[in-house]
Structure 1
Amino acid sequence: MKWTSFFRTVQAKLIIVYVLLILVAMQLIGVYFVSAMKTSLTSNFTEDLHARAEMLSVLVAETLVTGDGDAGEDRTESLGTLVNNLFNISGAEIQVLDASGRVLTTTLSSHNNYIGRKNTQTVVSRALQGIRDNEENVIDEDNVRKKVVAKPVSSGGKIVGAVYIAASMNELYTTMERINNIFISGVMIALGLTAVLGVILSHTITAPIKELTRKANAVAEGDFRTKMPVHGTDEIGQLSKAFNYMTSRLRTALSENEEEKEKLSSILANMSDGVVATDELGRIILVNKRASLMLGADESAMTGRHFAVLLGLDVEEAETMLSGITASTLLQIHPQGQDGSLVIRVTFTPVHRRGHGGTGTIIVLQDVTEQEELEASRREFVANVSHELRTPLTTIKSYAEALDDGAIEDPELGGRFVGVIQNETERMIRLVTDLLHLSRLDSSEAPLRKQLTPIIDVLEEVADRFSFQMQQKHMSIAVIVERGVPEVPMDRDQIDQLLDNLVSNALKYSNEGGSVTLAASLVEKGVAISVEDTGIGIPKKDIERIFERFYRVEKGRARSMGGTGLGLSIAREIVKAHGGDIELESEFGKGTRVTFILPLVQEERGYS
């Protein structure tokens, strides 16, 4: 357990790092040195064999040219004398072979039985073919590694025999082993010295750290008067200075902590909203970032000012807020440098300190603009729905009472009254259907079923659906699609409904003899599709609100034409669900053009 804890210390880690660095360095040097030495010794050994074989091939060339018979016996004896006396190599076998590969003489007495037999080794065959660079490494039956060299013997440009040398490499490998042992001994000595130096060096680093640890534990126990001795300007000395500075700052901070504790806890409890802290006179002493954003002023500029000036409160109201009673109020402010106004709920909470009474006030600012706008939108929506339903219901009730009073007895009058009731009922059904559709779009109940669809097919089908109604008003409808417009990912049913709404509006608000143009073109954000008419147009003052729900330019006329005031709102929601944009351009008395853009990138999203 003791050794385990020691190896977790910085001192042990430093020693291990130093030892590993030296070990890796020595290993790399050793691998390179031994490899280079082995290559050099092997190369020298091989070159020596080649040189001896080359010289022997020159000397035996003349002897091998001698004919058979007595001269042949003399030749064999001469060759034996030559290879045994002049070219005797320790631990090596030298053979001289004739042109057919038969052994004429050998330096190894145990291989005398090879004389007269053919040497079929590859290097010999290559040498008899005239190839001079023939060598290979072999291990014989005694497990001895040997280098084999063969050289051709030529006379008058003709191969008359070969020289074969097989030399043992044991002495070379013995030399390499001695070198390795010397290197390993040097590595072990170096590692031992490194470990000793590592212990000494690591101690000079870890001793101050251990002392600093003891001092830090003392500070943690509450002894803020302890100090670290500074012995130099190195990193350890700088750390000691920083430690001493920290203890002095801690003493100062703790002396101020008691006074600020309750105030800071109140501020931190409300940091999700804007928080302003004031003194007992109402002057601002602390502001968080959220409050400065709400009020549109820098924190430094707000410090020292009275909170009533920033919030726009009068003197009486400000004094009431400082009276020590928690209060809340709604304020509408206009932040500096920002467009529009904000509705803020301001909550005043007094701060008390034991024995001193009230010491200030915490003001919490909550931005409720969105909630107020949503509530107003809901009230307006309910009022609009109530109005739109009340009108047809009142008409139905009136005509139903008239029929009940006897108008049903008159066939012509009764039929007309029934027709009015049917028309108003259908208008209510359309209104409820549109409201349900808007509700599904708002709540994302049904995801879009997008498919790649050719734009030309969509626009031509819309034109076909309205062709009969166009003919009745003597109007024309045209489809224009730029070349190169690709297929677009879309929910076909939703886009068909969108285009039906737009073309229906163009038909309703165009005079006889007018025209409607459906166009599609490729733009930067996707594919732009437009519906343009030559109708009565929309006044400029109404264009900004035209996509609002239940908004009508001419309320009486729109209602008489069967409109619900929700068509363009539904169109906008469908386009938003596809990730696109929609805009309307119009000139009163000349016509209107509605353009929406569908992106080409298919996104996995539902209604928004």
Structure 2
Amino acid sequence: MKEMRLFQTIQSKIVIIYVLLILMAMQLIGVYFVRTMERSFIDNFTDSLNKQAYLLAGFAELSLVASQEAGPTAEGKKSYADLNEIVTSLFNISDAEIQIIDANGIVLTTSAQNKASLIGQKNLQAEVISALQGIKDIQSETIDIDGHRRKVVAQPVSEGAKVLGAVYIVASMESLYGTMNRINKIFLSGTGIALALTVFLGVIISHTITNPIKEITRQATAMADGNFNQKVSVKGPDEIGQLGNAFNHMTNRLKEALSLNEEEREKLASVLANMNDGVIATDDQGTIIVVNRQAKQMLRIGNEDITDRNISEALGIAQEKIGQYVQGEHQTATIQVGNEEEGDFVTLRVVFTPIHRRGEGISGTIAMLHDITEQEQLEDARREFVANVSHELRTPLTTMKSYLEALDDGAIEDPALAHRFVGVMRNETERMIRLVNDLLHLSRLDSRKALISRVPTHVPDMLEEVADRFSFQLDQKEISIEIEVASGIQEVMLDRDQIDQVLDNLVSNAIKYTPEEGSIAIRARKTEKEWLEIVVQDNGIGIPRKDLARIFDRFYRVDKARSRNMGGTGLGLSIAREIVKAHGGTISLDSELNQGTRVTFALPVHRMEGEAV
């Protein structure tokens, strides 16, 4: 595996390419050079043999003509002896055999001493036969039984058109091929040296190319790990240097871009973390990729990580419905989270916005979560308030209309009946006046137009006067009342009329909902914060736990029919709460069904007189 990686490097590839190029060039040059030189040597060798054959044919012509004219005499034999001397001495070619053959193909002389027995015998070689037929420049190559390559040359010896004989030369070519082999060895040695130098130079040259690339690779790896402080050293203006400059420029730009991106991410994270609305971002498959803290709080999931979960699971909306919201005209949905029956729930408005990517369509979804619980509650309270006011006014008005119609129909003629009808209408009118006055009072408190006129007030006397005002009702139902004021509480600064109204409302409610022979207690003490705390407690029918959360709402009645029959408007506790809040205090109510009710309000006692609320 290591060797495979070695041959996959640019440096090794460059060296291999250089070596292969040199090797191919040397091979091409070598083949061409050797073949050319071999052909040149063979041609020169052949030409040399042909020239010698021509020259020898000239000498042989004289000898053959002389021997034919002399016949088988001493002079003819002398001519053959002279021809033999010429062949053996003048034309002696090392490692070559020369034969002079007459017109009948009989060997007259030979230069090979070990083949003297051939003299007088016929030479039936094809080259000799062709030469005796007058064909010139006959040549061929043969390999003897020892594997030696030999060159065969034959030339006719003629006088005019008459063929007198032939010259036959067989020369060894081993010395020529030996020279060629030595040249090949020299060439191979040169090729090896050239390849070694090529490898050496290739390594050096490849280093000049691969080292900058390696440095750029190291820098790229460092960049991938988040290190943008290193730079590639540029050693020249060539292409590698230009690449290094471009890479350094890219590093700076990327560093700036990432810094800007990180800054934007921090801004976005800060915005998401401090938004009052919840934000959920998903990919194109609906998988949550970003969710802010407010969204988790709205969905009641705490610190649970819901990324990689589907948004339909988090919102409790089917994936098909979400797709319809994202791609449809109406992109708003309303969901409830929590237990509505127990009153522990929130109402959320979810606005779906698709994320478009150029050329790819919708690549994700942004879901904005708005908590509209209070808004819905206010809207419900507004509707309920309008309905309650309408109902409270409609009932006495309907009663008055009925009695007026009865009077108009003749009941006015009956004094006793007319007097009773007028009394009923008077009571209903007073009831509407009380309702309107309570509403006006609440309106002034809501608009902060009411002034708290604080005066020194003796708390024990104030509580005694409250008991005196309700003494008749207490005696009617035989309800006992107990007033307890802690020591040290005498005069405090408060709006006596407003607090009297609060106490009247609380004591009146206590009397209404306490059975006969019950008991009511009014206690006053100072808290740890030096506030005046007044408690009105009874042992009446109490209030169901489910109604405690709305007991201070306007027009809210636990037992609507009974409260209306008792003349209540359902605004008493609301007015009491607003008066206490106007003093800067707090009010609370605790009750258990059939066990009684305790209302506690606390007022700060150090306030400037005439402070606007």
**Alignment TM-score, normalising by the size of structure 1:** 0.52
Q: Does 1:447 align with 2:451?
A: yes
Structure 1 residue ranges without an equivalent (≥5): 1-223, 230-243
Q: Quick check: 2:454–2:608 contact (8 Å CA) kept in 1?
A: no
2:380 aligns to what SS in structure 1? Answer: helix
> Which position in structure 2 is the counterpart of 1:383?
387
> Which position in structure 2 is the counterpart of 1:602?
607
> Which position in structure 2 is the counterpart of 1:557?
562
* Residues in 1 aligned to 2:489 and 2:270: alpha-carbon distance in whole angstroms: 59
Q: Does 1:575 align with 2:566?
A: no
Instruction: Give CA-to-partner distance per residue, 1:554-588, whole Å, 9 cap, x none.
Output: 33333222211211221122222223233345566
Q: Does 1:437 align with 2:441?
A: yes
2:417 aligns to what SS in structure 1? Answer: helix
2:523 aligns to what SS in structure 1? Answer: strand
Q: Does 1:366 align with 2:356?
A: no
Q: Does 1:521 align with 2:543?
A: no
> Which position in structure 2 is the counterpart of 1:289?
293
> Which position in structure 1 is the counterpart of 2:552?
547
Q: Which residue among 441, 450, 457 is the counterpart of 2:461?
A: 457
Residue 245 and residue 283 in structure 1: after superposition, are their counterparts in 2 closer, same or farther (change >3 A)? Answer: farther
1:352 aligns to what SS in structure 2? Answer: strand
Residue 253 and residue 565 in structure 1: after superposition, are their counterparts in 2 closer, same or farther (change >3 A)? Answer: same
Structure 2 residue ranges without an equivalent (≥5): 1-227, 234-246
> Which position in structure 1 is the counterpart of 2:315?
311
Which protein shows a greater Rg?
A: 2
Measured after TM superposition, the shift of residue 494 of structure 1 is: 0.6
* Residues in 1 aligned to 2:358 and 2:546: alpha-carbon distance in whole angstroms: 62
Q: Quick check: 1:577–1:606 contact (8 Å CA) kept in 2?
A: no
> Which position in structure 1 is the counterpart of 2:398?
394
Alignment map for 1:5-154 (pairs within 5 Å): none
Measured after TM superposition, the shift of residue 310 of structure 1 is: 1.0
Q: Quick check: 1:325–1:350 contact (8 Å CA) kept in 2?
A: no
Tell me the percent identity. 56
* Residues in 2 aligned to 1:464 and 1:602: alpha-carbon distance in whole angstroms: 28
Partner AA of 1:466 in structure 2: F
Measured after TM superposition, the shift of residue 295 of structure 1 is: 2.6
* Residues in 2 aligned to 1:515 and 1:319: alpha-carbon distance in whole angstroms: 63
Q: Does 1:409 align with 2:438?
A: no
* Residues in 2 aligned to 1:527 and 1:339: alpha-carbon distance in whole angstroms: 32
Q: Quick check: 1:288–1:299 contact (8 Å CA) kept in 2?
A: no
Partner AA of 1:251 in structure 2: L
> Which position in structure 1 is the counterpart of 2:257?
254
Measured after TM superposition, the shift of residue 314 of structure 1 is: 0.8
Structure 1 range deviating more: 341-350 or 414-423: 341-350
Measured after TM superposition, the shift of residue 506 of structure 1 is: 3.5
Residue 593 and residue 255 in structure 1: after superposition, are their counterparts in 2 closer, same or farther (change >3 A)? Answer: closer
Alpha-carbon RMSD across the aligned residues, in angstroms, is: 4.2
Alignment map for 1:144-543 (pairs within 5 Å): 248=251, 251=254, 254=257, 273-297=277-301, 301-323=305-327, 327-334=331-338, 340-467=344-471, 470=474, 477-510=481-514, 516-525=520-529, 526-533=531-538, 537-538=542-543, 542-543=547-548
Structure 1 range deviating more: 382-391 or 290-299: 290-299
Q: Quick check: 2:555–2:569 contact (8 Å CA) kept in 1?
A: yes
Q: Quick check: 2:545–2:593 contact (8 Å CA) kept in 1?
A: yes
Aligned pair count reads 368
Residue 606 and residue 246 in structure 1: after superposition, are their counterparts in 2 closer, same or farther (change >3 A)? Answer: farther
Partner AA of 1:522 in structure 2: K
Partner AA of 1:496 in structure 2: D
Q: Quick check: 2:460–2:490 contact (8 Å CA) kept in 1?
A: no
* Residues in 2 aligned to 1:447 and 1:487: alpha-carbon distance in whole angstroms: 20
Residue 415 and residue 280 in structure 1: after superposition, are their counterparts in 2 closer, same or farther (change >3 A)? Answer: same
Residue 425 and residue 605 in structure 1: after superposition, are their counterparts in 2 closer, same or farther (change >3 A)? Answer: same
Measured after TM superposition, the shift of residue 340 of structure 1 is: 2.5
* Residues in 1 aligned to 2:527 and 2:592: alpha-carbon distance in whole angstroms: 24
1:573 aligns to what SS in structure 2? Answer: helix
Measured after TM superposition, the shift of residue 505 of structure 1 is: 2.9
Partner AA of 1:410 in structure 2: D
Partner AA of 1:429 in structure 2: I
**Alignment TM-score, normalising by the size of structure 2:** 0.52
Residue 287 and residue 245 in structure 1: after superposition, are their counterparts in 2 closer, same or farther (change >3 A)? Answer: farther
* Residues in 2 aligned to 1:428 and 1:455: alpha-carbon distance in whole angstroms: 33
* Residues in 2 aligned to 1:378 and 1:301: alpha-carbon distance in whole angstroms: 39
Instruction: Give CA-to-partner distance per residue, 1:178-220, whole Å, 9 cap, x none.
Output: xxxxxxxxxxxxxxxxxxxxxxxxxxxxxxxxxxxxxxxxxxx
Partner AA of 1:330 in structure 2: T
Q: Quick check: 1:536–1:588 contact (8 Å CA) kept in 2?
A: yes
> Which position in structure 2 is the counterpart of 1:132?
none
Measured after TM superposition, the shift of residue 440 of structure 1 is: 1.8
Measured after TM superposition, the shift of residue 507 of structure 1 is: 3.9
Instruction: Give CA-to-partner distance per residue, 1:128-150, whole Å, 9 cap, x none.
Output: xxxxxxxxxxxxxxxxxxxxxxx
